[in-house]
Structure 1
């Protein structure tokens, strides 16, 4: 999700607050004299406190549809007049959301609008309405977008067709068979834009959860000598690497069993509280007669509320360890709760995973 550097301490949902709606109403009124400002604000602000971020985003579209006169095309024309870059790019998503909600009976016009609006706030969520409704036509258009001059449009081609996009509707047909997006990924694998390459890597990582062999087939067909391709490949395979998938480790050059004389892990302090730092110290001694590539991760077995444990792999180091040489690594990890992980009291185990 896009971050808003100007609103670091503001709850996400307040990106769409009363002041934001008043500014949107002012812009719409300036672009369309028949715009019903009072109706827009009444619909947008009613029940505002109870709505979270995505519901507020959607309510913006609902209010605009009710308060703007004319057809879908007329309303989109007004939105085109007011669309502009925002300090918080997430706010600009509402233009695309409007198209996704009210343009499904006007596919050609709607896709053209999404191609335009994605420059101001990603249309990655809205485009999924059209993939679900008419996948063949929509994906053909997205293949064309993958060669567009604008990086936002190229990124939309990949991000919008991700099978398992977080916060977005899952594309069941592409989860089952990811091949229809292959041409998009091939077109973007050497893209100069990091913004685009991150999306391609995430797209492939989505697919790897269901079709690991297919993902390896795709990246193996690309020119790994290209640094952009190599970057995408490394990040695309991250889930398979964490799972220690044998074929993936072999592809990345870590398929051989490591030849190590000793692996010693120490933890300090032995007991921690929330807010403390845990220091991990690792010593490795090679017994190999030649240098060897090592992929070093550490695994924390977190205690769950039920008393069982949940395993999480953390990346640590990729290194070439010389013959008969030693290596010392240190890492500090802050012990704190996240929205996705809560800590529970108990004995937590930490393991080292090498290749």
Structure 2
């Protein structure tokens, strides 16, 4: 029987993550981290395991947020070459992303700079949700820049983190309240050749239809005039629940 996703975050993982951090921050108290995290982690489901580990990282490191991110930036490892490999190679970075999600909402510059690097090695849409909620215009403007980035994982992040109904996350309606800014991000990506990005944009359209069919129709009307093959696929996939 294959391991469940949550089971990858166990005592062996706690040892692994501790050793990664110690390589760049020898003062990290591995035994304290283990004591806080194990054996409680075995009784928790996936999401609660990530929260436990992130909170315990905060308790053990006892450093300013910017200093913690400086340490984490040194353990990220090599960038992934394309939009695959998130869970097969970058899975071990999940508690680091959770730490940013839980503690980074008050630090716009530090959080967005780190998140842009994190997504190149893992995924980071959840890190950006608190920032997006607290600083909607500033974040949307930044994401519009990211949607034109040369790195395809950064471009995907620009789309994925603004999804209204992102799985495993609370619904966020920034795309409805600031529709034109939201639209610019998707418009920049409507012809992107990367299939993962196409799926993300299509899922944005699907979410938008469920919340506001009128705004969904605006996007379709703008895009259906001489669309590229990529845009046609996005519109078709994004319209899969249209009645």
Asked if Structure 1 and Structure 2 have the same fold, meaning a TM-score greater than 0.5 normalized by the shorter chain, the answer is yes
CA RMSD of aligned residues (A): 1.8
The structure that is helix-richer by fraction is: 2
Deviation of 1:88 (Å):
4.3
Tell me which residue corresponds to 2:233.
231
The structure whose RCO (Cα within 8 Å, separation 6+) is larger is 2
Tell me which residue corresponds to 2:213.
212
CA distance in structure 2 between the aligned counterparts of 1:224 and 1:231, rounded to whole angstroms: 13
Deviation of 1:95 (Å):
2.4
Say if 2:46 is the partner of 1:45.
no
Say if 2:102 is the partner of 1:109.
no
Instruction: Answer with 1 or 2: which has the greater Rg.
Output: 1
Structure 2, unpaired ranges of 5+: 79-86
Say if 2:50 is the partner of 1:72.
no
Tell me which residue corresponds to 2:172.
171
Deviation sequence 1:113-156 (CA, Å, 0-9, x none): 11110122211112111111111111111111111111111111
TM-score by length of 1: 0.62
CA distance in structure 1 between the aligned counterparts of 2:148 and 2:178, rounded to whole angstroms: 23
Deviation of 1:43 (Å):
1.8
CA distance in structure 1 between the aligned counterparts of 2:203 and 2:106, rounded to whole angstroms: 30
Tell me which residue corresponds to 1:157.
158
**8 A Cα contact 2:147 2:154, kept in partner:** yes
> Which stretch shows the higher mean deviation, 202-211 or 56-65?
56-65
Structure 1, unpaired ranges of 5+: 1-7, 244-355
Q: What is the 5 A alignment of 1:19-38? A: 19-38=12-31
Tell me which residue corresponds to 1:60.
53
The structure that is strand-richer by fraction is: 1
Q: What is the 5 A alignment of 1:91-102? A: 91-102=92-103
Count of equivalent residues: 234
Deviation of 1:201 (Å):
0.2
**Residues 162, 80 of structure 1: alpha-carbon distance in 2 compared, 3 angstrom cutoff:** same
